Amino acid sequence: MMMNHSLKNQCKLNVGQVITGKWHHNQYTITKELGFGANGIVYLAQSKNQYVALKLSDNGMSITSEVNVLKSFAKVQGSTLGPSLLDVDDWVRGTGTISFYVMEYIHGLSFLEFVEQKGKSWMPVLVLQLLSDLEKLHSSGWVFGDLKPENLIVTGPPPKIRCIDVGGTTIQGRAIKEFTEFYDRGYWGLGSRKADPKYDLFAVAMIMINTSYPKRFNKTTGGINQLTQAINEKMELSKYKNFILSALLGHYTTAKEMRKQLLYIVGEDQSNSSRVTRAQFRTQTQTRTKTSSVSISRSNTYAANTPNHQNQAPQQRQLQKKKRKSKGILETVFIVFFVTLLYAFYVIEKL
Amino acid sequence: MNTGKIKQILLITDGCSNSGEDPIAMAALAKEQDITVNVIGVVDQDTIDEQGKREIEGIALSGGGVSQIVYATQLAHTVQMVTRKAMNQTLYGVVNRQLQQILGSSKSVEDLPPDKRGEVMEVVDDLSETVELEVLILVDSSASMKHKLPTVKDALLDLSLSLNARSGENKYSVLVFPGKQNDVEKLLDWTPKLEALTSIFPKLTTGGLTPTGPAIREALSSFKKKRSLRSLLGRDDESFFEESV
């Protein structure tokens, strides 16, 4: 993007360059550039034989603002929201003072790279992890804001998702500080830019769509229709269709609720496949194509039930199960009764 | 803290002015009246002539605002970012001046250790959420801008989406230049609803000259007119405000 050129030039550092803080006098040796955004450049640096990530910006305000967020995250007990903050300082150079902060270096692949390399089956796992992190973040009064695959790094082993770049992190109830259009509900005409938990949940749903459209897509007609069509065009999303749509339309009020529903879908998937194999055992004639069509139609009927009753769905199923069970007992009783009746007639006749 | 209102002019153009006063001087005049001038240059390809680029940067520099040169596709995102950034800058300046009064003229926020700076930034963040904001949007409608106008309209609607998410009040006004008869034509008078633009914008006719300087001058008087009108109508409001402070 053209607009970052001036910024990039000002904060451009060479490999091997040493930065010394004005206040705390810590030294950092630049190793390589990790990335740059609208608000600064992040470098990998070495300090005291340890790798750290160092963010520089000519805009001291945004540095201070992000440091505030990271400090507030540190107060949330036992959390891994965002990278941990190590140092905040100014670097005095010939052309002026540049503010920077130093954080833990989170090493790994970005969300999309990871799913691409390790397989689509990781997608729900990572989304579940992300949702439980978001739950913590939301309950401490924040909204992440600029949630996108580039800001999600999978570290490990074992693979664990981490959020980096808190530039968009906003106090709930305020206007979102920074966002990326594709993941922004305002851009799609599906809500305001006021920071509430649903704003992040919308972005999570867009990330799921993003896994099937790695290059994203632009708004044409916008609205829920375009997004629904995008989901319909990808087979691998059909299982999550109603889940994604519910998040896009803001039907989930908390990350916890959304997580529960995703767990349910994943569980449903597992029990479906096991039930199908049992059925195969019994009949032994069903072909593979038939079973797959069975599982699809089942997930569809389940989906059709869900949109507004996410929480009721599991209970409904249990109820159905119970019904089926009691039906079976009723059948047995009836047959026993009928046979006894026949026998009774037989005995009476013989007499 | 009483910061008053934040007043901004947002100029959206695609090149050099060629008629009337020097726009850079007019922007300097705006700054003297505590009105920030931000400029967004919209380009088709990677090219913008050096002269146009220099003028865009010059206007923002002397107008105390922010400038960006972008492709039309990035316009929406840029418009809201520039407005926000400029607003924070202004507030930061206000807070800084207050701080100087307390700490002595040689001190500024940058002279504070990073730990203390955080608290100042929290004040700026609070203010940027609640402060009253007036944005006067100046749209270049010269011939070369014609096919970009629908994008400009979408970007402005997107801007109102971003700003209306704040709890503070927003007021917008839209001027286009050149106008049908004059250098400048008022498209939308001060209103909290920028959405009203949707119906007016398609009717725009595009003209030849680019009188950027006169447009900024007209924009300044538009702020003044509003103020005088307000002082006539809203005397009660003001005295109430003073009491509450």
Mean pLDDT in order along chain A per 10 residues (351 residues): 46 85 91 84 92 90 90 77 89 86 93 92 93 92 93 90 90 92 94 94 95 91 92 91 94 94 84 56 45 41 41 51 67 86 85 74
The residue among A64, A169, A219 with the most chain B CBs within 10 A of its CB, best to mutate, is A64
pLDDT for B196 beyond 50: yes
Domain ranges of chain A: 2-104, 109-294
The helix (run of H) or strand (run of E) holding residue A6 is: helix A5-11
B5-244, superfamily in CATH?
A: von Willebrand factor, type A domain (3.40.50.410)
Report the mean per-residue pLDDT for chain B: 83
| pLDDT for residue A320 | 56
- Chain A contact for B126, CB < 8 A? no
- Chain A contact for B104, CB < 8 A? no
| pLDDT for residue B120 | 85
> What residues of A are in contact with residue B162 (Cβ under 8 Å)?
175-176, 186, 193
| pLDDT for residue A9 | 59
- Secondary structure of residue A57 in the 3-state scheme: strand
Written as one letter, the residue type at A13 is L
Mean pLDDT value of segment B193-208:
79
Closest residue by Cα to residue A256 from A133, A135, A125, A76: A135
Mean pLDDT value of segment B149-169:
91
Inter-chain touch B161–A88, beta carbons under 8 Å: no
> What residues of B are in contact with residue A1 (Cβ under 8 Å)?
70, 74
pLDDT for B59 beyond 90: yes
What whole-number distance in Å separates Cα of residue A333 and Cα of residue A328? Answer: 9
Asked if ipTM goes beyond 0.95, one says no
Cβ burial, residue B240 (10 Å; 0-12/13-18/19+)? exposed
Inter-chain touch A173–B167, beta carbons under 8 Å: yes
CB A246 within 8 A of CB A231: no
| pLDDT for residue B227 | 57
Q: Provide the CATH topology of domain A109-294.
A: Transferase(Phosphotransferase); domain 1 (1.10.510)
Mean pLDDT value of segment B146-168:
90
| CB-closest option in A65, A178, A192 to B161 | A192
Residue with the bigger pLDDT between B222 and B107: it is B222
- Give the phi and the psi of residue B192 in degrees, each rounded to 5: -80, -10
Residue with the bigger pLDDT between A288 and B103: it is B103
Inter-chain touch B162–A193, beta carbons under 8 Å: yes
- Chain A contact for B117, CB < 8 A? yes
Inter-chain touch A187–B158, beta carbons under 8 Å: yes
| pLDDT for residue A62 | 87
| pLDDT for residue A315 | 52
| CB-closest option in B74, B114, B165 to A89 | B114
What whole-number distance in Å separates Cα of residue A246 and Cα of residue A258? Answer: 9
| CB-closest option in B78, B122, B165 to A68 | B122
pLDDT for B36 beyond 50: yes
Closest residue by Cα to residue B34 from B117, B118, B94: B94
The residue among B115, B162, B163, B166 with the most chain A CBs within 10 A of its CB, best to mutate, is B162
What whole-number distance in Å separates Cα of residue B207 and Cα of residue B143? Answer: 5
Domain ranges of chain B: 5-244
Mean pLDDT value of segment B204-209:
74
C-beta atoms surrounding A323 within 10 Å: 10
What whole-number distance in Å separates Cα of residue B26 and Cα of residue B10? Answer: 14
Q: Provide the CATH topology of domain A2-104.
A: Phosphorylase Kinase; domain 1 (3.30.200)
The position carrying tokens 């990808």 is A234
**Catalytic pick from A146, A184, A196, A200?**
A146
Mean pLDDT value of segment B130-153:
88
| pLDDT for residue A345 | 85
Residue A17 Cα, gap to closest chain B Cα (Å): 23
| pLDDT for residue A36 | 81
A90 is a catalytic site residue: no
Cα end-to-end distance, chain B, whole Å: 9
| CB-closest option in B81, B113, B158 to A38 | B81
Mean pLDDT value of segment B78-89:
89
pLDDT digits (tens, 9 = 90+) for A244-300: 999 999 999 999 999 999 999 888 776 666 655 554 445 444 444 444 444 434 444
- Is A55 annotated as ligand-binding? yes
Inter-chain touch A2–B125, beta carbons under 8 Å: no
Closest residue by Cα to residue B81 from B91, B93, B70: B70
